Amino acid sequence: MKKLWTAFLAVVCILPLLFQGQVQAATHINVIVDGMRINPSQPPIMVQNRVMLPMRVIFQLLGAKVTWDQKTQTVTAVRDNSTIILKINAKTATIDGKSTTLDVPAKNLSGTTMVPVRFVSEALGEKIGWNSTTKTVTVTTSNNSAGEGSLGPVNYITLRDIGNIGDGRDLQVSFSKSANEQHASYYRVFLVKASKASYFNESAAANVPSANYSVIFPTGSDPSLTFSSNTRDSDGELIRENQAYTAFVLAVGKYSGSSQMSKASPAVTLINNRAVDAPTGVTVSDVNNYGDGRDLSVSFVRAASESQISGYRLFVVKTQSLSSFNLTAAQAVPGTSYTSVAKPSSSTSQMTLSLGSSSRDTSGELIRSGVSYSVVVMALSSNESTALSRLSTPSSSVTLNQSASVPMITQVSDVSDYGDGRDLRVAFNKVSDESNIGSYRIYVVKSGTAGLFDVNRADNLTNYFYTTVSKNGYNLVHTLPATARDTDGQLIRSGVYYRVFVSAVGTGSQNGVQLLSTASNEIILSTGNQVEAVTGVAATDSSDYNDGRDLRITFNRANNESNILNYRVFVVKYNKSSSFSVDSANALSIYNYTQVNKTGYNLSQSLSSSTRDTDGDLLRNGNSYAIFVMSVSSNAYTGNVLSASSPYVYMSANQVVAAVTGLAVSDVSDNNDGRDLRVAFNRVSNEGTIGHYKIYVVKNENAASFDLNWANSLDSSRYTYVSKTNNNQIVNLAAGARDINGDVIRNGVAYRIFVLTAGSGSYAGYSALSSPSSVITLSGNTSVPAASNVAATDGGNNNDGRDLFVSFSPAAEESRISGYRIYVVPSQKADAFNLAAANNVNTANYTPVNKTGSTLSVSLSATSTDTDGLPIRNMTAYRVFVVSVSSDGVAGNNALSAPSSAITMESGAVTAPTSVTASVYWDNAAAQRIDLSFTPATSGNVSEYRVMLVPTSLPFGIDDAKRVAANNYTVIPHQEGTITRELGINTRDVEGNSFNASSQSYHVIILAVGNPAQTNTVAITENVPLQNWPPPR
């Protein structure tokens, strides 16, 4: 990478030699590094016939860390052991401590630091080209120290919605680091609209401006990034709610041509939900060698506030499935596939626990070696109606060491219908080192006694009670024989619950020693494993959409559904139905059938508008169809079964029950319930066939999947009944109105409205669902009260946020306040700081504070920043504001306090040096120099020492010392340890006279001057006589 860094210096230095002619400012200049075009938001320009480049973009491209000092207007860029310092409008730059003159000083152009380029370093060893026709600079870097292997793309990209703000701060991306990450310079993270993801590739990424992607530098761990409020997608648009995004990561190599583009993450649409605090700092470690859950140790930090949390759930997720694991998926995981963690009574924030041998991942499989896992912890809400549960950021991935010391059972299954051992198949992983293993034994134990079965009991059994399996160097799958018996000596049979153990039996020096596995899942052998077909398949033309919604399918479920995973409904053109078979059905893609989950009951379901027949054509009026239903086997060893055909159904325009039109919704009040929601729609033209209407309030995230089947399945508590009136309808919902999930309608939730037309009389059972309304989010209109008595004090000497103590009185009434935010604002910007500005500040640039009901006093953290995102520092004037945050999630209802008084933090006062001695050195009767020695100040915040020669006759104090002209004292920079200096014989005294020309006596006084970035104080020593002066007369 040092060569790569040098390559940048080559770009910075060579361009003036490439562009000697006068170029107009509008000329477009291309810069390409290792085949990748750089597209900064501020393009390169010409100033006084010199090329100016955006400094930050190119430094970051080459892996440099860039800092900006607003006060001194200085850019510092560091990469490996190289440091470059440039100051705006200064004609010199510093490269690795050496000053270099610039033809044109660095400039600030529209907020971008632009730097001139002049100097060419010798022995750069990089290939740099210039195409005068296309005005293109090309840089090809080289490095002879690359290690073996090549840079690989990142994997397991997970994009998740973590917040409730409505911009980039709600999105977090994580991914597994690139293989051979030592070859990676950095990662570019792109957020791409899901509708454009299929067209996004490395070529497209090269044309995305730097303002439209984020950069992450390698740390050796799996990266994770939470975006900011200013994050934009690849089109340059700010991240927003209700837009689906996917993430791509480009791993940019250190060497030419080594960049790698990832695959797309699954799409995520930002949804605004209120939730409890999440646990943080989740880590997972491989601590044992059992080959099961006992190998995993998990640690996490409890949620910041647990007042609404009843406990935690720990989920072990296959890393390859992590991108689709969200709160909905977590809440659907059965209790056998997560670990519950009680909320402890102690105040310890860190929790650590080891899993058990029977622990399972979220797919229901036992945890085992060789699988990449990540861990997610859920804070479980004590009341989901007021605050949702929340997931942590996932841990880094871990793969358990495959060097298992005991066999690991991976599956036990009922594979046949003999009613004896032949029905039982056992699959297990061998031990990693079989050098001392002679064979394996399979023990079948009745579930009731499995908890007592151990290696001692296994040792006492004869071969009559187990099945021996020879090793073959591979993992094993074995079906037991008809004569197999359980550990009680009884033949294995149907209707008995068993658990299985496997032991590895030693040989040689380990002869007879058994290494016993943990117990398998419980299994009961049953007869009738064959899959049954459904019966009574029928179809009716029940609506008038001219698509799949017109067809309602009914059938009787299979009598025994235990071996059925789900059903598939196939719509076949009548002229092809006679040749349609189970093989035909199995060969079709998911786009050509409708999957129906089993419910334990006979099924009746309308198809969707996008349903296609088995030829891939959308369903349309004027066609006759036959319907088939396939029972899908849940057992890999048993085939699927196809039903008989339904009678033919002809789709036609029925004009029976139509959907309403002109659906509109509005927020008309401020009750934070259904009374705020007004629904208007045009009645159907013929109300003679209908009985009434139903209004459904659907959360926006559910609207895409809400259909007629879902609507018809809901009870009356989840819709609003509207009688027909022969007029168009305007309906205000009731205070107790609920959405389709049963949740009370409330502010801050995005909804869409549907209206169902219900048939009556001879048309009872017919219905039609409207198109959805536009999205509506109810909001309050009343601001919450503001905090008061905001005060800020300087309480430390750390030169960061820890020095700033903020106190304030809470709002007079806090029932509608969820918490507070502390904003530290530079004083010069305080007059313009208002609520709108506060609501737009990045979450990283304020400090959230929980309400306590009493006066709050808070010390900020070392990493706290002001509202501009700059670290809080000494010698900068600030004013502090506090925002009361409205619990309805409406930013306009927040309230801003009055500011504190201005505060400028300083470190402690400087102290004066001690042990000062000064003596004139003579040689051959001539004064040669002044020998000076002193011990530096102990305060640690001194910038320099000013050594002054003061005539003894002159009254002189600290104020006089501060006024002495710069030419009349000697400056010595601060350093540790005793300082000695030789002052010249022509050193001037404080009045500007050369002391050598004077015969008067002097005192030596030293003024310690504080570091201006930390303090304005100074300190002066006592008068110390100058020894050996004046010369003897």
Is 515 found in the same domain as 582? no
What span, in angstroms and rounded, lies between the C-alpha atoms of 325 and 376? 9
Give the helix ranges, DSSP H, for 489-537: none
Is 759 found in the same domain as 670? yes
Q: pLDDT tens digits, residue range 369-387?
A: 778 899 999 999 888 777 8
Region 384-394 average pLDDT: 81
User: Is the confidence at residue 120, as pLDDT, over 60?
Assistant: no
Is 1009 found in the same domain as 930? yes
Is 600 found in the same domain as 553? yes
Structure confidence at residue 24 as a pLDDT band (50, 70, 90): very low
Is 119 found in the same domain as 44? yes
Contact 219, 174 (CB under 8 A): no
What span, in angstroms and rounded, lies between the C-alpha atoms of 523 and 426? 11
Range of the domain at 374: 280-399
């020593």: which residue's tokens? 1021
Q: Which helix (H) or strand (E) holds 50?
A: strand 50-54
What span, in angstroms and rounded, lies between the C-alpha atoms of 44 and 210? 13
| CATH number reported for the structural domain that contains residue 967 in this entry | 2.60.40
Is 942 found in the same domain as 972? yes
Look at 5 and 443; give whichever has higher pLDDT: 443
What span, in angstroms and rounded, lies between the C-alpha atoms of 224 and 396? 9
Which of 351-365, 625-639, 807-821, 1018-1032 shows the lowest per-residue confidence on average (mean pLDDT)?
A: 625-639
What pLDDT score was predicted for residue 146? Answer: 37
CB within 8 Å of 13: residues ≥ 6 apart: 117, 118, 119, 120, 121
| CATH number reported for the structural domain that contains residue 189 in this entry | 2.60.40.10
Q: What angle do CA 930, 933, 937 make, to 5 degrees?
A: 140
Contact 254, 143 (CB under 8 A): yes
Region 535-564 average pLDDT: 86
- Give which of 218, 225, 140 is closest to 183, Cα–Cα: 218
User: Is the confidence at residue 38, as pLDDT, over 80?
Assistant: no
Instruction: Show which of 524, 549, 568 is a domain's final residue.
Output: 524
Structure confidence at residue 4 as a pLDDT band (50, 70, 90): very low
User: Is the confidence at residue 874, as pLDDT, over 80?
Assistant: yes
Contact 860, 804 (CB under 8 A): yes
Q: pLDDT tens digits, residue range 983-998?
A: 998 899 999 998 888 8
Is 563 found in the same domain as 495? no
What pLDDT score was predicted for residue 155? Answer: 86
What pLDDT score was predicted for residue 556? Answer: 92
What span, in angstroms and rounded, lies between the C-alpha atoms of 481 and 493? 12
150 inside domain: no
The DSSP secondary structure of 879-899, one letter per residue, reads EEEEEEEETT--GGG-EEPPP
Is 125 found in the same domain as 10? yes
Look at 134 and 178; give whichever has higher pLDDT: 178
Contact 402, 430 (CB under 8 A): no
656 inside domain: no
User: Is the confidence at residue 432, as pLDDT, over 90?
Assistant: no
- Number of folded domains that form the chain: 8
Region 191-195 average pLDDT: 92
Q: What is the pLDDT of the chain when averaged over all its residues?
A: 84
User: Is the confidence at residue 888, as pLDDT, over 80?
Assistant: no
Is 1018 found in the same domain as 945? yes
Which long-range contacts (C-beta less than 8 Å, at least 24 apart) are formed by 61-66? 61/8, 61/33, 61/186, 61/252, 62/4, 62/5, 62/7, 62/8, 62/33, 62/185, 63/1, 63/4, 63/5, 63/185, 63/186, 63/217, 63/254, 64/5, 64/8, 65/217
Tell me the Ramachandran region of residue 846: left when phi exceeds 0, alpha when psi lies from -120 to 50, beta otherwise: beta
User: Is the confidence at residue 1021, as pLDDT, over 70?
Assistant: yes
103 inside domain: yes
Task: Give the pair of three-digit tokens for residue 293.
Answer: 């859950």
Is 546 found in the same domain as 506? no
What pLDDT score was predicted for residue 494? Answer: 82
1033 inside domain: no
User: Is the confidence at residue 747, as pLDDT, over 50?
Assistant: yes
Q: What angle do CA 795, 800, 803 make, to 5 degrees?
A: 10
What pLDDT score was predicted for residue 123? Answer: 30
What pLDDT score was predicted for residue 869? Answer: 93
- Give which of 399, 329, 411, 328 is closest to 369, Cα–Cα: 399
407 inside domain: no
User: Is the confidence at residue 256, as pLDDT, over 60?
Assistant: no
406 inside domain: no
The DSSP secondary structure of 958-984, one letter per residue, reads HHHHHHS-GGGSEEEE--SS-EEEEE-
User: Is the confidence at residue 813, as pLDDT, over 90?
Assistant: no
Q: pLDDT tens digits, residue range 129-176?
A: 555 566 665 555 544 333 445 778 888 898 988 877 667 888 999 998
Percent share of the chain, pLDDT over 90: 38
Is 553 found in the same domain as 631? yes
DSSP assigned state of 456: H
What pLDDT score was predicted for residue 20? Answer: 38
1030 inside domain: no
Give the helix ranges, DSSP H, for 159-313: 202-206
What pLDDT score was predicted for residue 177? Answer: 86
1032 inside domain: no
Instruction: Show which of 853, 881, 904 is a domain's final residue.
Output: 904
User: Is the confidence at residue 271, as pLDDT, over 50?
Assistant: yes
- DSSP β-bridge partners for residue 298: 284, 353
What pLDDT score was predicted for residue 126? Answer: 43
What pLDDT score was predicted for residue 53? Answer: 67
What span, in angstroms and rounded, lies between the C-alpha atoms of 1027 and 1033? 15
Task: Give the pair of three-digit tokens for residue 237.
Answer: 């648009």
Is 298 found in the same domain as 207? no
Highest mean pLDDT among 107-121, 266-280, 290-304: 290-304
User: Is the confidence at residue 226, as pLDDT, over 50?
Assistant: yes
What pLDDT score was predicted for residue 124? Answer: 34
Instruction: Show which of 777, 812, 836 is a domain's final residue.
Output: 777
